[in-house]
Amino acid sequence: MFQTVHDDHKKQKKLPIHFHKAELALIMSLYGRMVAAGEWRDYGISPLTEVAIFSIFRRTAEHPIFRIEKCPKLSTKQGIYAVIAMDGRILKRGNDLKAVLRVLERKMIKLID
């Protein structure tokens, strides 16, 4: 008959994690440069309850070559953002998205040289 506060908390649905406008602007800027270089062709955004994922594809029908993940739960530990390679290796992690994305910019510079 009586519901406790704890019961109400369990019933609340967790809202998905999303990338904010400023975060997407940084990611899309890099994405646009890589598309222009002919390296990337498609992307997907997955807002999940624990993490938001920006997947980058070389071709539409394959596995992502990179994933940019935002996991707020890790903000006080390894960092909220991570760039993950196709094989699952974490290439860079941190709380500053611009600094984390530099690992992909360095890959772009190597491609141009």
17-60: per-residue pLDDT in tens? 899 999 999 999 999 999 998 889 899 999 888 999 999 998 76
DSSP element (H, E) containing 28? helix 21-36
Give the pLDDT of residue 97. Answer: 93
Residue 28's contacts (CB-CB under 8 Å, 6 or more residues apart) are none
Cα distance between residue 82 and residue 27, in whole Å: 12
> Does the predicted TM-score (pTM) go above 0.85?
no
